[in-house]
Structure 1
Amino acid sequence: MGARVARLFRNFNLENRVHREISKEKPRAAPRHAATALPSAGSSSEEGETVNQKNVPLLTNLQSVYVESTDPAAAAAAAAAEASKIVMVSKEMERRPLKYSLPLDRYGLVELTDVPKGKLTITEALKALSSHQQQPQTWTPEKIAQDYSLDLKDTKALLEFFVPFQIQIIPPKTENAKQIKAS
């Protein structure tokens, strides 16, 4: 209720008040300080002439300067791309034939014929790991690395950290719990 009354007084004779404000004379801007005042057309014409004149010594100095700019990040990225391309080409040339493979035609997959040196297929990795697990004296890390053209360090890491087909049966804490019998 109070908002309606306030709106009535606020909007009362609004048009007349607006016309009165618009028809008033506008206030003048404060005068500027002499140091920051803009130069007028009639004052200091000598300054304007010296600014617009060519200064020959400065112009010759400017013409003798030559600036060539390159982006160091782009140059480094281009060099790295070129280096990786060279490494990739050299690694693609060094390939070795497969030792073991699975028949994959029935699954619609393409069978590989060779792999890059330093790489293994899953079939070869599983064969190497299982043969090392069955006969560790015969299939040493050095022999596996030599047969599959691998680094010795990578082969040792593979044999240490990737152990397939290892089943561990943990005995139960209570005697009356059911246990799987190893056969």
Structure 2
Amino acid sequence: MGAVVGRAIRNFNLESRAEREISKMKPSPAPMHPSTQSLLRELMSRRPEFKGEIARKDDKLLSFLKDIYVESKDPVPSEQVKDAGRHQEPKEFRLHKGHRFDMMNIKNIPKGKISIVEALTLLNNNKLYPETWTAEKIAQEYHLELKDVNALLKYFVTFDVKVFTPEDKKAIQSK
């Protein structure tokens, strides 16, 4: 409903508004600098044929312009040409570790990647046994790059449940 009203207001009296805009005086060019005007007057007084040269249309140049026909085609990116000629190399896969979680039927995982279950497992192992599950061992075990494993261990943590005893809690005073 709002679009109908908006369109009606926008198109109201459109022809007369367009005609009024077209019939307005066109803006005049900006005035020249006084020094330029004096130089042009001096040049025109010395050589009056320049005034005719400025106003004259050159038929030879206009005929050249009429003969020009531009046909444009978008260039094909070189990457697409290279990709079409190159065969896809087969990816290396590895078996899924930790088959006890069968949440998804994952048959194999590309090397350099891990599943969610594996990520949680390795984070938990590193948290519980940091001296045995080091970044180097995790990178070797899961076929990952060391910098990726270091970033994973630095920026991601598993959930931690902490249970506070009643003695540790501060009592909330009721009003």
The bucket for the TM-score relative to the shorter chain is 0.3 to 0.5
The TM-score with structure 2 as length reference comes to: 0.47
Structure showing greater radius of gyration is: 1
The TM-score with structure 1 as length reference comes to: 0.45
